[in-house]
Structure 1
Amino acid sequence: MFFERPQSGGETAVLVHIDFPEGANREDLAEFRELVISAGADPVELVTSKRDVPEAKYFIGSGKVEEIRELVQLHEVQLVIFNHSITPSQERNLEKALQCRVLDRTGLILDIFAQRARTHEGKLQVELAQLQFQSTRLIRGWTHLERQKGGIGMRGPGETQLETDRRLLRERVKNINARLIKVRAQRQQGRRARQRSSTPTVAIVGYTNAGKSTLFNALTSSEVYAANQLFATLDPTLRRLPVEPIGEVVLADTVGFIRHLPHKLVEAFQATLQEAAEADLLMHVVDCAAAERDDNIHEVDKVLAEIEATDVPQLRVYNKIDLLEHGKARIDRDEHGKPVAVWLSAMQRQGFDLLEQAIGELMGDDVMSEDIELKPNDAKLRAILYELGAIREERYDDNGNMLLSIRLQRQDFRRALARADIAESRFIPQQPEPWQ
């Protein structure tokens, strides 16, 4: 590590939560506790206070700093965690006053991500976000070295060592970015292959701990890690799911979102989140029993806007109806009868038939499932349809014509006709021209 800190003897921590008015600084206390426990810390005390705005030097008042310092000494705590984002200078001032390590909300989330990452891609993404976060805090690590001074013979090693580490950090960031570009290219290649095979993709998104992985496992009979904790899933998992009348769809389980998700983390996980941005349908899973349900929906929509996924059709999935007093599986529809939400329980496997029905209705409008006749000189179109995996059955008549039973998205069939240089009018009825 770049930082010289007091030696840690455990993960006991004092928690600090400031109750700000509604606005950018406001955070949820219950969620903070869940984050701390998910990180593996053992909270021994909670210090709360009310302020209108953060204090410049310590973020909190000097009286609260003294109160926290006494608790740190009383419990021999090595870590103080803030439920807010604090500046590097505030963090340095607090560490000096409290004589222990200080961690803010952003650093806590990064630590959880570092623990949860399993794949090579996930570990690279987390390390990139950590390095970008640490770069502004690098100077703390060299307070034990003398500073450079003006004049011959007066230059100390401090700034020289600091610059060395900054250069090493920049080189490591550059190296990780180069490796992530390769990962993104591979992931993009996989997406293009699915598009060529006309297999639609459904991405599961939602607030962390909404039950996305539990739903994913129940639908696909998979064994993705699922737990009642924040950010149980970091690495995206893809599985095929048969849905009538579409056929197979690719279901993608993605990382959970959270309020004030660090921007650098969103940037680092761009390759993963791209699964959501390029999906044909988003299944937005919501914990319907959560008190802050509406706020969580709003936060997910904000991240979707940040990754430019707001134009992707969305189906709201209200999970955990088993925790509601009168929870019942159902489909909510708009004024046109189109499904907009499904209420279900992933844990109890209630409402799965309704979910598949809703997905089928939303994605099946443009599925082409019919028999076509090709002449012998249409062999190129036949080859393209086989390449797309669209041919279900093939027969021949007495004249040598090919009778094909096909099933694929109508837009994919149009593209196939264009590639084979065949007029659409042969197979797709043209809309009559409106009267002038």
Structure 2
Amino acid sequence: MIETKKQQERVLLVGVELAHQPHFASSMEELASLAQTAGAQVVDSYQQKRESYDSRTFVGSGKLLELKERIEADEISSLIVNNRLTPRQNLNLERELGIKVLDRMQLILDIFALRARSHEGKLQVHLAQLKYMLPRLVGQGIMLSRQAGGIGSRGPGESQLELNRRSIRHQISDIERQLKEVAKNRARIREKRLASTTFKIGLIGYTNAGKSTIMNVLTQKEQYEADQLFATLDATTKQFNLDGHFQATITDTVGFIQDLPTELVSSFKSTLEESKEVDLLIHVIDASSPYHEEHEETVLSLMQDLGMVDIPCLTLYNKADLVQNFTPTQTPYLLLSAKADQAKERLQEALLEKIKEFFLPFKLSVRPDQAYLLHDLERLALIEKRNYEEDREVIWGYLAEANKWRLEKFYD
């Protein structure tokens, strides 16, 4: 343990709060969590109120002097800024302070590099790093000579800072070509899934809200879950039976976060599109977070940007065991703890009620010679009640409008 601590980068955090800037406090707390997730030891956090960011060094001259003194006194190795720095601000800060300077976007990219497991995920992170790095290849500051590695220089892009713009542009083109091939393969798989008519559920939510835990509860299959930011990066789809024979798939994707780098949104487009092709979304929210309302706003805003607001959605407030007198801001909603004994049953019940809202009700009278047709119907429909009347079986249920034609077989 002692040796691990010695290897940790000692960092300072700094943020500038502008007038009427919402969510500043939560953003600074989140920055500390991000830094710790990346393996840093957060020594202290500095905040400054200003009318605008300093165009040269982001913070004012007085705060810059304060940071210099602290860096010299406590052997600080890095400064992490809670904003997107311009290339000029980044370079000037490194020259003034004599240490490595990262902004929030670089930190998030670094964590993604740490978490990516699949070939596609690694390519996407590499692409985002290169696109972010390209306009920053200026001067001969610390930024261009990070030979020691560490936070902000992990992943496939760690050795690219010394390359010229032409080389990086070539790499960007090459990765984009590879990702197009991967996207074609993903599209083919998605088309097969769409053609299967299986009901599709997508999990969305702020990072560390508990999406992977919810997936494990429903499918009874192990998906990596942890109390950390961005535990899941690569889209994972699993199949399960929701109600008896009714088949469904559920897809877990990367968690959202405030100020998600645009390079990542662009690079992860094909992965995020997995959530656009679903029939129902489960928006998972960490009810125990004091900033859950801000997290909701972030996710809803990104859903708007991704064109997902018209997809039916069930709001699920998770980690109910950690809160008291909770007041939800979204309705309808389900409040539960995914770790509780009855979590699966309660979640299934809520999902079924939500599905019935947009499925079409039907009533069928099935002759004995038509019974063989029920097997396929049961996989696609929610069967609510069955009765036997004389020589027929009467069935009441709900079915997606796109599958309504399947009932015609019983009317022959």
| Alignment TM-score, normalising by the size of structure 2 | 0.81
Q: What is the match of residue 5 of structure 1?
A: none
Partner of 2:164, secondary structure, is helix
Residue 336 of structure 2 is aligned to residue 344 of structure 1? yes
Runs of 4+ off more than 3 Å: 23-27, 140-145, 331-334, 366-375, 385-391, 407-417, 424-428
SS of equivalent residue, structure 1 residue 260: coil
What are the residue-to-residue correspondences of 1:111-130 with 2, within 5 Å? 111-130=110-129
The gaps in structure 1 that reach 5 residues or longer are: 1-7, 146-161, 335-339, 376-381, 392-402, 418-423, 429-436
User: Contact conserved, 1:121 with 1:183, CA < 8 A, in 2?
Assistant: yes
**Match of 1:100?**
99
The answer for unaligned runs of 5 or more in structure 2 is 1-5, 145-160, 382-392
Q: How does 1:344-383 map to 2 (within 5 A)?
A: 344-364=336-356, 365-366=359-360
Q: Which amino acid aligns with 1:261?
A: L
Alignment-derived partner of residue 165 in structure 1:
164
Q: C-alpha distance in 2, partners of 1:14/1:50?
A: 17
Distance in 2 of aligned mates of 1:350 and 1:332: 24
Distance 1:369 1:119, change over 3 A: farther
Is the Cα contact below 8 Å between 1:200 and 1:250 reproduced in 2?
Answer: yes
Instruction: Give the match for residue 312 of structure 2.
Output: 313
In structure 1, the partner of 2:15 is 17
Computed over aligned residues only, the root mean square deviation of the Cα atoms, in angstroms, reads 3.7
Tell which structure's C-alpha radius of gyration is larger: 1
% identical aligned pairs? 35
Q: Secondary structure at the match of 2:315?
A: strand
TM-superposed CA distance for 1:372, in Å, is 6.3
**1:245 to 1:18, Cα distance in 2 relative to 1, 3 A:** same
SS of aligned partner of 1:231: coil
Q: 2 CA distance for matches of 1:164 and 1:117?
A: 23
Displacement of 1:25 = 9.2
> CA deviation digits over 1:243-292, x for unaligned, max 9?
12770110111110011111111111111111111111110001112111
Pair 1:257 & 2:256 matched: yes
Aligned-pair distance for 1:370? 5.0
Shift of 1:210: 0.8
* Deviation by residue 1:157-212 (Cα, 9 ceiling, x = unmatched): xxxxx997211111111111111112222222222212222101110100111111
Three-state SS of the structure 1 residue aligned to 2:225 is: coil
* CA distance in 2: counterparts of 1:66 and 1:325, whole angstroms: 44
Question: SS of 1:139's equivalent?
Answer: coil
- CA deviations over 1:15-74 (Å, ceiling 9, x no partner): 112233333894622111111111111111222222121111111011111111111111
346-355 or 24-33, which deviates more: 24-33
Kindly indicate whether the alpha-carbon contact (under 8 Å) linking 2:34 and 2:108 is maintained by their aligned counterparts in 1.
yes
1:272 is matched with 271
Query: Take 1:78 and 1:183, find their aligned partners in 2: how far apart are those partners?
Result: 39
CA spacing shift, 1:25–1:202, aligned 2, 3 Å: closer
Q: Could you tell me which amino acid in structure 1 is paired with residue 196 of structure 2?
A: S
Alpha carbons of structure 1 residues 143 and 360: separation in structure 2 relative to 1, 3 Å: closer
Is this contact kept in 2: 1:245–1:360, CA < 8 A? Answer: no
Q: 1:347 to 1:390 in 2, by over 3 A?
A: closer
2:138 match: secondary structure: helix
Alpha-carbon distance in 1 for matches of 2:17, 2:94: 22
Q: Distance in 2 between matches of 1:105 and 1:163?
A: 22
Correspondence list, 1:114-263, <5 A: 114-141=113-140, 165-244=164-243, 247-263=246-262
Give the drift of 1:93: 0.3
Q: Distance in 2 between matches of 1:55 and 1:217?
A: 47
